[in-house]
Amino acid sequence: MHMIGADGVLKPLTLGVALLAVPAVAQDKAFDLTVPSELVVTGFSKHLLPRFSLKTSIRINVTSGSGDAELGDTGTPVFRQGDTIWHLAKTDGSYTDAFEEWLLSDVGKRTIEAFAPDGEPMFSADVKTKPKVQKIAATGDVVLGEKISLHHCGRCHVVNETNRMNAIGSTPSFGLLRNFDDWRDRFEGFFVLKPHAAFTQVEGVTEPFAENLPSPIAPIEVTLDEIDAITAYVGSIAPADLGAPIQTQ
Ligand code: HEC
């Protein structure tokens, strides 16, 4: 090693001796990886890790204690064993990063799937978890509920796109009401909440309108089953995106 001195003359760098010791340590590229025993017994790590080391010259010390990285159930999904998805959790660092990158690369995936002690691949690189099916099945209730909602509630509330133009703008839409944490309670008991009590009759639940206090508007007459259907329908619609939380009362 040389450096240019203040006099412009190239001089041997005396510090070089001390510095040379550093690369020797740095060349020992390695990190500790925690591998749970159920994975160790498969023999998979003996297949996988040396192939990574061969490519990258990064050695992996397998440990059962805590390491710089860990195969387990948290972190980045890296391979699948039957129904189990194995994840890689790691501290930041170029070696652990390189390992993650390699596992997710085409070469890494092929290496994962090449492990077939009994002729059949034991692991798969396909880690896409099946999308959680949040969709609420369109049961008869939901379909009926939409119909009843449009019929009874749609003259005031926007129930969905189909009655947007026929509803009363100042009345909260069903999508908006769906944002309340307790939307279900409100719908199940809507008939006692303002303003509905004055014009709503629930079969077998509410008292008939007093003769001297008839419903001021065309009354709503519903059964408890129909309210269940309405509630099922409301449960199936997406809360209107408000951009900000709405105030409860
Ligand atoms: C005549 C108009 C009208 C009809 C018909 C109507 N609503 Fe309403 N509803 C309103 C108004 C107005 C509000 C807002 C009340 C308020 O903000 O205090 C409301 C509010 C609600 C709320 C929220 C109540 C609360 O206090 O949180 C629910 C739930 C609701 N309506 C359900 C229904 C259902 C279900 C139907 C049909 C079966 C229906 N409404 C029919 C006018 C109506």
Q: What would the pLDDT profile of 200-212 be if each residue is shown by its tens digit?
A: 999 988 888 888 8
How far away, in angstroms, is 190 Cα from ligand 1 center?
Answer: 7
The answer to whether the beta carbons of residues 147 and 159 sit under 8 Å apart is no
Q: Please give the structure tokens belonging to residue 148.
A: 């009843």
Instruction: Return the ∠ at Cα 101 (arms to 98 and 104), rounded to 5°.
Output: 150
Indicate if ligand 1 lies below 6 Å from the C-beta of 187: yes
**Bigger pLDDT: 212 vs 147:** 147
How far away, in angstroms, is 134 Cα from ligand 1 center?
Answer: 27
Indicate if ligand 1 lies below 6 Å from the C-beta of 202: no
For residue 79, pLDDT beyond 80: yes
Indicate if ligand 1 lies below 6 Å from the C-beta of 172: yes
For residue 5, pLDDT beyond 80: no
- Of the listed ranges 5-14, 15-24, 130-139, 182-191, the least confidently predicted one is 15-24
For residue 232, pLDDT beyond 80: yes
Q: pLDDT-derived band of residue 153, with 50, 70 and 90 as boundaries? A: very high
C-alpha to C-alpha distance for 34 and 87, rounded to whole angstroms? 12
Quick count: other Cβ atoms within 10 Å of Cβ 30?
14
Q: Please give the structure tokens belonging to residue 116.
A: 């077939």
C-alpha to C-alpha distance for 21 and 49, rounded to whole angstroms? 28
User: What pLDDT was estimated at residue 139?
Assistant: 62
User: What pLDDT was estimated at residue 77?
Assistant: 95
C-alpha to C-alpha distance for 11 and 34, rounded to whole angstroms? 48
C-alpha to C-alpha distance for 48 and 86, rounded to whole angstroms? 14
**Bigger pLDDT: 43 vs 9:** 43
The answer to whether the beta carbons of residues 201 and 221 sit under 8 Å apart is yes
Residues 215-220: contacts with CB under 8 Å, at least 24 apart = 220/152, 220/153, 220/191, 220/196
Q: pLDDT-derived band of residue 64, with 50, 70 and 90 as boundaries? A: confident
Indicate if ligand 1 lies below 6 Å from the C-beta of 194: yes
For residue 23, pLDDT beyond 60: no
Whether a cis peptide bond, with omega within 30° of 0, leads into 195 is: yes
Indicate if ligand 1 lies below 6 Å from the C-beta of 230: yes
C-alpha to C-alpha distance for 9 and 79, rounded to whole angstroms? 58
How far away, in angstroms, is 36 Cα from ligand 1 center?
Answer: 56
The answer to whether the beta carbons of residues 175 and 239 sit under 8 Å apart is yes
How far away, in angstroms, is 174 Cα from ligand 1 center?
Answer: 9
For residue 83, pLDDT beyond 80: yes
Q: pLDDT-derived band of residue 213, with 50, 70 and 90 as boundaries? A: confident
Using alpha carbons only, how large is the chain's radius of gyration in Å? 33
Q: pLDDT-derived band of residue 25, with 50, 70 and 90 as boundaries? A: very low
Q: Is 243 left (phi over 0), alpha (psi -120 to 50) or beta?
A: left
Indicate if ligand 1 lies below 6 Å from the C-beta of 153: yes
- Of the listed ranges 5-14, 65-74, 121-130, the least confidently predicted one is 5-14
C-alpha to C-alpha distance for 150 and 186, rounded to whole angstroms? 18
What number is the average pLDDT over the span 194-201? Answer: 92
How far away, in angstroms, is 196 Cα from ligand 1 center?
Answer: 6
> What's the number of CA atoms in the CB half-sphere (13 Å) around residue 7?
3
